[in-house]
Amino acid sequence: MLVGLAITVAAANSKISYHGYKVLRTQALDKHTAEILGRMTERDFDFWADPVQGRSADIMVSPHNLADLEQFLAKHQIQYSVMIEDVESVARLSEPTPSVRPSRKNLGSPRYTLTWDKYHPHDVINEFVDELASTYDFVDSVSIGKTAEGRDLRVIQIKKAGPGKPNVFIDAGIHAREWIANAVATFMIRELVENYEANSHIVDNLNIHVLPMANPDGYEYSRSTDRMWRKNRAVNSGSSCKGVDLNRNFGFHWAESGVSTSPCSDVFCGEEPFSELETQAIKEYTESLNPTPILGHSIHSYSQLWLWPYGFDYTSRPDNWREIKQLAEDASEALLQVHGTYFDPINSADLYPAAGASDDWYRGGLGTRYSYTTELRDTGLYGFLLPPSQIVPSGEELFAGMKVVFEKCVQDTTA
């Protein structure tokens, strides 16, 4: 949460309540109104969608600060509507329900606990990865490091293609509150492994490495304590505020735009590039892959976007930006055909300039040929609080788009 947000804590379980919090959506902003709202992003409001010229801003506000925000918007003649009437009631649609977790020996088939009708804890996701590795001879499960709270950062390696074949790397869930990202990553893993016959051309020709939970400490904190938590849970020296925004911590044009140097900010970039255990682990693992991955991809939510680099600056582009852009458009078109969901394929900086993101580093630091960030469903009805009923359709449509990207990677390396 940003500094100043008035938060109510339920005494019974120390879980933060967002009862009475609203999310307001502004009209499409012009340059002037975007600049006005941009000056207040570090104050008393949580911007779910940042103020950008030509787009709406989504602002979560507490009951305590609602009147001040409404007065501010009226003063500057910024029209708005209520996107979410009560954040707490919507959050309950996605939050875990108490249940007895079955032991593995009683599961029968499938062998793992994971399902795609609810959001699961980190250890269940790791169990899923481990079970696939123990079942399929072309799958491995590796820990690439541990977090500050001792949780495994576990990558699944789908490596039927074998040594020397092209690598791709996918991360998901860098931002803790974006639960749909982790769920969709596991859906894609299942399709590639357990539906091999339908995807054999991809699996036979690409070694696919997926980190389905890039921020497990933050994710578990968002489940247990603060549903809207974004950062990791690192201790910041000299500050009572915890956490670094991992997607501002990668070492490509680090801290040049769209960040804060305040440890209490949701977009705190850390004390230096790759200061965090999670980003260090991703860097070291991807740099160890031979050949260098042809694709680096990061799964986020929300807004239904297929973003291509660079995002640190409005005018900077990779040298092959035209082919990156075209592939984003092709992937978005394939995604559209599944459920009619439109993803806008745009340059990352057109959303808002932000330095230190993983996709920028994949292309500009690691040297991948292709690099993307996908912002999954939806466009604002639920925002970060997407109900579990949308996991499967979200997974189906993203996988359709990813298949286009995978096939292009195969084509480029086998031609």
Whether 99 shows a pLDDT value over 60: the answer reads no
Could you tell me which residues are beta bridge partners of residue 80?
A: 26
Which region among 96-105, 165-174, 390-399 has the lowest average model confidence (pLDDT)?
Answer: 96-105
Q: 110: cis peptide before it, omega within 30°?
A: yes
> What is the distance between the alpha carbons of residues 176 and 214, in angstroms, rounded to a whole number?
9
Whether 111 shows a pLDDT value over 90: the answer reads no
Query: For the whole model, what pTM was predicted?
Result: 0.94
> What is the distance between the alpha carbons of residues 139 and 133, in angstroms, rounded to a whole number?
5
Angle, to 10 degrees, between the axis of helix 122-135 and the axis of helix 179-194? 10
**pLDDT score at 10:** 43
Whether 155 shows a pLDDT value over 80: the answer reads yes
User: How would you classify the pairing of strands 370-376 and 295-301?
Assistant: parallel
Question: Which residues participate in catalysis according to the annotation?
Answer: 375
Between 49 and 12, whose confidence is greater?
49
In angstroms, what CA-CA distances link 206 with 166, 293, 349, 374? 5, 10, 30, 20
Whether 25 shows a pLDDT value over 90: the answer reads yes
**pLDDT score at 414:** 78
**What string of H, E and C letters represents the secondary structure of the chain?**
CCCCCCCEEECCCCEEECCCCEEEEECCECHHHHHHHHCCCCCCCEEEECCCECCCCEEEECHHHHHHHHHHHHHCCCCEEEEECCHHHHHCCCCCCCCCCCCHHHCCCCCCCCCCCCCCCHHHHHHHHHHHHHHCCCEEEEEEEECCCCCEEEEEEECCCCCCCCEEEEEECCCCCCHHHHHHHHHHHHHHHHCHHHHHHHHCCCEEEEECCCCHHHHHHHHHCCCCCCCCCCCCCCCCCCCCCHHHCCCCCCCCCCCECCCCCCCECCCCCCCCHHHHHHHHHHHHCCCCCCEEEEEEECCCEEEECCCCCCCCCCCCHHHHHHHHHHHHHHHHHHHCCCCEEEEHHHHCCCCCCHHHHHHHHHCCCEEEEEEECCCCCCCCCCCHHHHHHHHHHHHHHHHHHHHHHHHHHHC
Could you tell me which residues are beta bridge partners of residue 84?
A: 23
User: How would you classify the pairing of strands 167-172 and 8-10?
Assistant: unpaired
Q: 226: cis peptide before it, omega within 30°?
A: no
Residues 6+ apart with CB under 8 A from 230: 175, 176, 177, 218, 243, 245, 266
Residues 204-236 have pLDDT tens digits of 999 999 999 999 999 999 999 999 999 999 999
Q: Which CATH architecture has domain 8-91?
A: 2-Layer Sandwich (3.30)
Residues 198-211 have pLDDT tens digits of 999 999 999 999 99
> What is the distance between the alpha carbons of residues 255 and 249, in angstroms, rounded to a whole number?
8
> What is the distance between the alpha carbons of residues 339 and 391, in angstroms, rounded to a whole number?
13
**pLDDT score at 372:** 98
**pLDDT score at 126:** 97
Asked if 336 and 345 count as a contact pair (C-beta separation under 8 A), the reply is no
In angstroms, how far is CA 380 from the centroid of its own chain? Answer: 16
Taken in order 392, 111, 207, 373, the sign of the CA dihedral is: positive
Question: If you average pLDDT over residues 5-24, what whole number do you get?
Answer: 72
> What is the distance between the alpha carbons of residues 30 and 158, in angstroms, rounded to a whole number?
46
Residues in the chain: 415
Q: Where are the domains of the chain?
A: 8-91, 110-414
Between 8 and 17, whose confidence is greater?
17
Confidence at 43, pLDDT banded by 50, 70, 90 = low
User: How would you classify the pairing of strands 80-84 and 305-308?
Assistant: unpaired
Residue 137 tokens read as 């001879």
Radius of gyration of the chain (CA): 21
Residue 53 tokens read as 């010229």
Residues 263-318 have pLDDT tens digits of 999 999 999 999 999 999 999 999 999 999 999 999 999 999 999 999 999 999 99
Whether 12 shows a pLDDT value over 50: the answer reads no
**pLDDT score at 215:** 98
Question: If you average pLDDT over residues 22-42, what whole number do you get?
Answer: 90
110-414: same fold as 8-91?
no
**pLDDT score at 9:** 45
Comparing CA positions, the residue from 299, 276, 270 lying closest to residue 210 is 299
User: How would you classify the pairing of strands 8-10 and 15-17?
Assistant: antiparallel
Place of tokens 């009226």: 74
Question: If you average pLDDT over residues 12-21, what whole number do you get?
Answer: 84
Q: Which CATH architecture has domain 110-414?
A: 3-Layer(aba) Sandwich (3.40)
Place of tokens 């002037």: 32
Asked if 176 and 118 count as a contact pair (C-beta separation under 8 A), the reply is no
In angstroms, what CA-CA distances link 237 with 105, 230, 244, 264? 44, 19, 12, 12
- Quote the mean pLDDT of the chain: 92
